[in-house]
């Protein structure tokens, strides 16, 4: 157990000093947060055309106006809620992208850096090695969706536009 | 009472698919012994070390290890983004040391790298990385130390420090096995040598290998031309050669025979300037072992070349 903890500590220290492994997760998270604001708010604002007036969203509007979470919203707010909900699904990919990038380095990286052999020459067991690696690498990946959701919530609270974005995004998260 | 071996490898064989990397290698390593494993690239040295360290399983054969093993891999294998201290601390904990911080401090002091302990490994020179790797290897005070190319790529000063460390390990009664291409290094430190090319070609002390391949000779340099004094020695020794002021005598036991030679020469009126054992360099022993053909022999320790134009005095029947 102590050997696993030693390896886990090393993994976390290694990750802390290697922010590059978080880039895929950050990019995915950033896209899932920024894109709905662009599509639902910035584009209508600058083009002067409301989402509710677009024929592309007519069917979605009909569906969403019947949903409990969006029933009280005006048409523009309901479509904004739809867009935000769709992009929130993208947040699910954030841990996947993060996990893929860090997991790829986990053992293969050790092998490439030629740090695996000295490690294997210690009394560490295969289970301890893999457990330490998995725990060390899963921590940053699993922490990214809550962080992304929190960022979405904070961003939506600060965005002073019509359409009850804050309320909708909060409900969507629930 | 006979010393118990620290490590016994019996009939080790390792195959990678159809290729046999190591074939039926047996060796023993005694405490306080420095054992050198020599061989060309791809001879199976690293594979043998990896089997001895337990990193890979032999296809057949067994390894009996009686003590803790420290394995210095060919590459330093440090985590570049971590500090020197952190690198060692992780290993101290992996080895389950009681006081990891103290063990790390001692290792840092031992290798004189305490001043760089907060540097990231990536910032270190190759020599310093090797020192850190050695510190890591000895952190848990292993009884058996396996060193794969310990001085590879080091400057002469660092290589000398590593050799001094190896000798210190011997004085601490630790068993040391070195895999290396550096024959000079082996010459300086090794008690026994094994030459490997998939299977063991030879295993003995450097002196015994020399004697087996080239015989033992002693060179006696005189103040005057040596030819008149050759006759004095030919009465007792079968192979006496001269070259100007130097006598070369083939001996079966250099240590026992040399005082008598000197005594006989002095009594015959010779002024002896120097007496040295005429040993073939280990490189020539190694090359002869790997390629025992006449071409190799000519390229190697060739007495005819050394005594070019010399008169060869053969023993009388």
Q: What is the pLDDT of residues B131-186, one digit of tens each?
A: 999 999 999 999 999 999 998 878 888 888 889 999 999 999 999 999 988 888 88
- Asked if pLDDT for residue A103 goes beyond 50, the answer is yes
Name which of A66-70, A148-152, B274-278, B282-286 the model is least confident about. A148-152
Q: Give the pLDDT band of residue A167 (cuts 50, 70, 90).
A: very low
Mean pLDDT of A58-71: 73
Higher pLDDT, A110 or A154: A110
- Asked if pLDDT for residue A136 goes beyond 90, the answer is no
CB contact under 8 A, A121 and B93: no
Q: For residues B55 and A15, give the distance between their C-alpha atoms in angstroms, rounded to a whole number.
A: 26
Q: Among B57, B79, B152, pick the best mutation site for testing chain A contact (most A Cβ within 10 A).
A: B79
Q: Is A10 in the B-facing interface, judged by CB distances under 8 Å?
A: yes
CB contact under 8 A, B75 and A17: no
The confidence score (pLDDT) of residue B143 equals: 95
Q: Is B20 in the A-facing interface, judged by CB distances under 8 Å?
A: no
- Asked if pLDDT for residue B25 goes beyond 50, the answer is yes
Q: Give the pLDDT band of residue B64 (cuts 50, 70, 90).
A: very high
The confidence score (pLDDT) of residue B179 equals: 94
Q: Is B69 in the A-facing interface, judged by CB distances under 8 Å?
A: yes
Smallest CA-to-CA distance from B242 within B215, B270, B200, B263 is with B270
Å from A31 to nearest chain B CA? 29
Chain B residues within 8 A of A113 when measuring between CB atoms: 77, 79-80
Name which of A65-79, A150-164, B7-21, B241-255 the model is least confident about. A150-164
Q: Give the pLDDT band of residue A2 (cuts 50, 70, 90).
A: confident
Higher pLDDT, A68 or B130: B130
Higher pLDDT, B294 or A160: B294
CA nearest A114 in B: which residue? Answer: B77
Q: What percent of chain B has pLDDT over 90?
A: 54
- Asked if pLDDT for residue A27 goes beyond 60, the answer is yes
Tokens of B210: 């020399």
Q: Give the pLDDT band of residue B238 (cuts 50, 70, 90).
A: confident
- Asked if pLDDT for residue A75 goes beyond 90, the answer is no
Q: What is the SS3 assignment for chain B? A: CCCCCCEEEEEEEEEECCEEEEEEEEEEECCCCEEEEECCCCCCHHHHHHHHCCCCCCCEEEEEECCCEEEECCCCCCCCCCEHHHHHHHHHHHCCCCCHHHHHHHHHHHCCCHHHCCCEHHHCCHHHHHHHHHHHHHCCCCCEEEEECCCCCCCHHHHHHHHHHHHHHHHCCCEEEEECCCHHHHHHHCCEEEEEECEEEEEECHHHHHHHHHCEEEEEEECCCCHHHHHHHHCCCCEEEEECCEEEEEECCHHHHHHHHHHHHHHCCCCEEEEEEECCCHHHHHHHHHCCCHHHHHHCCCHHHHCCCCCEEECCC
Q: Is A2 in the B-facing interface, judged by CB distances under 8 Å?
A: yes
Å from B99 to nearest chain A CA? 13
Give this complex's ipTM.
0.74
The listed range with the strongest mean pLDDT (A70-74, A83-87, B192-196, B306-310) is: B192-196
- Asked if pLDDT for residue A93 goes beyond 90, the answer is no
Name which of A142-151, B233-242, B263-272 the model is least confident about. A142-151
Q: For residues B305 and B68, give the distance between their C-alpha atoms in angstroms, rounded to a whole number.
A: 49
Q: Give the pLDDT band of residue B252 (cuts 50, 70, 90).
A: confident
| Mean of all residue pLDDT scores within chain B | 86
Burial of B106 (0-12, 13-18, 19+ CB in 10 A): middle
Q: Is A119 in the B-facing interface, judged by CB distances under 8 Å?
A: yes
Q: Between A13, A114, A117, which is nearest B86 by CB?
A: A13
Sign of the four-CA dihedral A119, A121, A124, A126: positive
Mean pLDDT of B31-60: 93
| Mean of all residue pLDDT scores within chain A | 75
Higher pLDDT, A110 or B54: B54
């Amino acid at each position: 157990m102590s050997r696993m903890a030693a390896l886990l500590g090393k993994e976390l220290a290694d990750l802390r000093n290697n922010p590059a492994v978080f880039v895929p997760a950050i990019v995915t998270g950033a896209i899932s947060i920024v894109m709905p604001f662009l599509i639902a708010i910035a584009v209508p604002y600058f083009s002067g055309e409301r989402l509710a007036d677009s024929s592309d969203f007519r069917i979605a509007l009909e569906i969403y106006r019947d949903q409990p979470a969006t029933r009280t919203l005006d048409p523009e707010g309901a479509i904004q809620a739809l867009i935000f909900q769709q992009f929130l699904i993208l947040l699910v990919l954030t841990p996947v992208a993060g996990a893929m990038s860090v997991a790829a380095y986990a053992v293969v990286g050790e092998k490439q850096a030629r740090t695996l052999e000295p490690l294997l020459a210690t009394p560490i067991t295969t289970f301890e090695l893999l457990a330490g690696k998995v725990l060390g690498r899963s921590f940053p990946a699993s922490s990214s969706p809550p962080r992304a959701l929190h960022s979405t919530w904070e961003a939506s609270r600060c965005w002073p536009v019509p359409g009850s974005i804050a309320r909708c995004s909060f409900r969507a998260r629930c | 009472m006979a010393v118990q071996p620290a490590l016994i490898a019996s009939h080790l064989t390792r195959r990678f698919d159809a290729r046999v990397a190591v074939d039926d290698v047996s060796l023993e390593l005694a405490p306080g012994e420095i054992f050198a494993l020599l061989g060309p690239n791809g001879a199976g040295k690293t594979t043998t070390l990896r089997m001895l360290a337990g990193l890979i399983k032999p296809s057949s054969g067994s390894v009996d290890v009686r003590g803790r093993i420290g394995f210095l891999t060919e590459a330093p294998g440090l985590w570049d983004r971590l500090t020197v201290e952190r690198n060692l601390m992780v290993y101290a904990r992996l080895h389950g040391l009681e006081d990891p911080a103290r063990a790390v401090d001692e290792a840092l002091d031992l290798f004189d790298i305490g001043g760089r302990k907060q540097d990231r490994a990536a910032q270190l020179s190759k020599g310093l990385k090797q020192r850190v790797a050695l510190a890591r290897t000895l952190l848990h005070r292993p009884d058996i130390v396996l060193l794969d190319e310990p001085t590879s790529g080091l400057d002469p000063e660092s290589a000398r420090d590593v050799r001094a460390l190896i000798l210190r390990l011997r004085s601490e009664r630790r068993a040391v096995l070195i895999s290396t291409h550096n024959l000079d290094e082996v010459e300086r430190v090794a008690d026994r040598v094994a030459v490997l090319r998939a299977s063991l070609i030879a295993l003995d002390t450097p002196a015994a290998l020399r004697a087996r391949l080239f015989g033992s000779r002693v060179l006696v340099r005189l103040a005057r031309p040596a030819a008149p004094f050759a006759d004095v020695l030919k009465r007792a020794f079968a192979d006496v050669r001269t070259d100007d002021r130097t006598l070369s005598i083939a001996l079966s036991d250099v240590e026992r025979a040399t005082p008598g030679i000197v005594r006989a020469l002095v009594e015959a009126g010779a002024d002896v300037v120097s007496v040295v054992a005429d040993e073939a360099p280990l490189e020539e022993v190694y090359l002869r072992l790997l390629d025992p053909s006449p071409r190799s022999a000519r390229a190697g320790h060739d007495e005819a070349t050394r005594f070019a134009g010399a008169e060869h005095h053969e023993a009388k029947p």
